Structures are given as C-alpha cells and as structure tokens.
Structure 1
C-alpha cells in the first residue's frame, strides 16, 4: 500500500464524475443558504448594527472588508493544501481546485484592498500607506494574479498543475506575515479583535452581524468554487475529446498504408 495515498475521504472524490454528482446535490442548498445569509447579513450590518461612537457610519465598511480579508487568507490556505494534494498525493482534482479558487481569492483580496482604502480615507486621512498589513495584503493579491497567469501560460494541465502548486507553496510564506503583521510591526491597523486568546473585544451588536456576513460570503465562495470546478472539469474533458478526435484520422491513415 502506498504510504502517500490520499486520505480515504478525499480519495472517494478523486473520480470527477462522483465529485460532479456531489456538487449537483450541494449547489441548490448552498445557493439557497447564500441568499438567505446575504440578505440577513446585509440587513443586520446596515440596519441593526449601531454606528461606532468614533467612526460613525463609516464603520459599516467593516462588514465587507473584514470577511473579505478572512476569506482571501482562507482561500489561499485551501489552495496550499490542494497544492500538497497535487505534488504529494497526485489527487486528480487538486489542481482543479487551485485553478478554480485563484480568481475568487484574487477578487476577495481586491475587495479587501478597495474597501480598506475607502475605510482608511476618513479614518487615517489617506487612501493608502505602505505599512506591513497593507503591503503584505497587496503582495497576496499579486500572488493570486501570478498564479492565475502561470496557470493560463501552460496549456497542458498536468505540467500547469505541478508548476502552479510549487508557486502556491512558495507564496504561502506570506500568509502568516499578513496575519501577524500587526503584532510583529507597528502598523496603522489595530490588533486582532475577534479571533484572539482573550475572546472577542467587539460589542455583540457589531460582532454577530460581522460573523453573519463572514458566513454569508463563505457560502457565496463555496457556490462559486463548485461552479468554477464544474466548468474546469468540463473544459478538460472537452480538451481530451478534441485531442482524441484529432488523433483518429492519423491512426486510420496509418492503418490504410
């Protein structure tokens, strides 16, 4: 038995047909949950959560900015795990996962940067500063862009998957830098206020809408990820069929001789 075999739960989904069947069952439920959570989260964020005593109404940017930041880090971490699946376990869907997730991670990272600028302008008096948190998040966005470009530059899926997996793992060193930059350096960003040893420091009237929006955007990502993976599997199947179709005339010609 291969000591590097993928865990049984992942191996069960190695067959693309089984994965597609599972995705077909999950998508309707995830889509419904996404709509309900998004409507509830946005209502809570903009109509129930009170304005901050210092920041006023501008604090509502947080309900988009912070979950987008969390997701951009979580998506890259998922891609790093999938990269191990490509290089170590040779899981057939690992590189599909990375290729589908990279554009979505890039979008969430961009949303984080844009909303951060919109939030920072009235608070800091400037749209952008090159502090550790902002710079490392911008590097994360560039990593996403580089992964997308590399995946598009290599046409053959197996070679592309291995090259992209290596780049993902190299870039993962930036994830702890983004996370702990406010602890390691003096930045304009405040320290962790939700996931911290002493418990959240946010008032419940702010915390619960924030967590609700994080859950809503996570479900949205899950829906888009499954749809993107289905599209990528279909594209690869079409490519394989086209290659087989192109090779048949040559085979027949050889037999005719």
Structure 2
C-alpha cells in the first residue's frame, strides 16, 4: 500500500453566479459618524416646512427672553398708584438686575423692585403650582402683574441713616439734613404720619412717591423688621419705562439726596427708632 499517496482534493462548491453573499444588517447600515450628527440635526431643524421653522423661531425667542428676564433685565408691570408722579398704573418698567450684583448697593433716591417677604409680608399668600408657574412666566415678560409679594418703591434711607419726618417746615430729614423731594406726587406731604428711625445695617427704608396712596415702610413700623427691607431682597433697580410708547423714557435721577451727609455726621443722628 502506497502510504505516500495523497487523497484527491475535494472540489469546492462553486458560488452561484450573480448572487452576492449577504452580510449583517450592521454592515449594510454603518453607525453614523459623530461628525455627521450636527449636520443631521441641523437638516431636521431647518427642514420640515414653514410651520416647523416658525415654531423653532418662537421657541428660541421665548427661551432667550426668559434668560434675559431672569438674569439681566426684567419687565415689571406697575400694579398700583403708590409711585404716581414717577410711575403710573400699568406702566411696564425695565428692572436692571445687574445693578447691585457686583459690589454696588442701593443708594438713596433709587427706585427699586423688591421681594417684600419678611418685611412687608409676614405670611406670604399660598398659590398653587400651576398658577405660580403661569404668573412667573407671564410676569417675566411684563404680561401679568407680578407676584403679590413684589413691590416698587423709592429708597429713602440706607443702613445707618436716621430718617425722620417731619421737621418744622414739614420736610423729610435724613441724617439731620432736610430733603426737598422733587419727585413727590403734586399736593402730597412727605408724610402725614410722624416717624423717627435709624435704619439697621443691611436694610433699606423705602417709601412711595405718592405718599397719600402708598403702603410703605411707615405702615410696617410695628412689625418684625420695623418696616425696613433687607438689601438681599432687592430684585433690581428701575432704570426705564418701556411701555406705553408715549411714556417710554429713562427714569430721571433725583438730586434730592446729593447733600445728605454720611451716617453719624448729620445733626441729631443717633435717635431712638420710634414711629
């Protein structure tokens, strides 16, 4: 027996002509390249007809407006007549939310919007979640009145100031200096209620320009906080009237407090707070 003899090679099965071997689905549909994803997303966003593009544009505008309103400038609908003479009911004012963010602090004469909780409002009214969200979104663009705990007033005294009303001429005094309040509503007296208070550090004494129609620091003298507003509750400074069009203007800065001395230097400073 010839052991060196090799077995004949078995014929390979011939491939059918015209038929290609089927590969896996993953080989037919390779994964999308990371570079192609932004392009695909852009094609989806810009495609789809005018309705999709209009919806996208509206969404971008609303998101941008909310971001600006939350961090830069917020429209605020003036809800009452307490600031008449300067602001009218229904005015949409623009509140600069960066005014006091970088070390600056509210000054005498500034018109500010603040959260009155723990100063003007001791027990905040409850509001269901849906209503609160709707109000927050609509008030952020000036379409609804703000939360009932938001107020707009003028800063009359800052931390350390002695604010008193009234002197022999019926004028408001700050640190012993009489203040000629040129912004008061015509015919209004500085105050019909006498008071004398030293503003604690980190707090503000605020009053409305329409004194006979304003519930302000004077009305909360006997409450916790003595009517003063914590500086960290200030939302921003009112710098412009944005609506209606015939009242569109920047807010005029008052010089009424220009000659008021620093706390401790005014005549008569150091009195005991009372109202």
Q: TM-score, normalised by structure 1?
A: 0.24
Q: TM-score, normalised by structure 2?
A: 0.23
Q: Give the structure with the larger helix fraction.
A: 1
Q: Which has the higher contact order (CA 8 A, sep 6+)?
A: 1
Bigger CA radius of gyration: 2
Q: Give the structure with the larger strand fraction.
A: 2
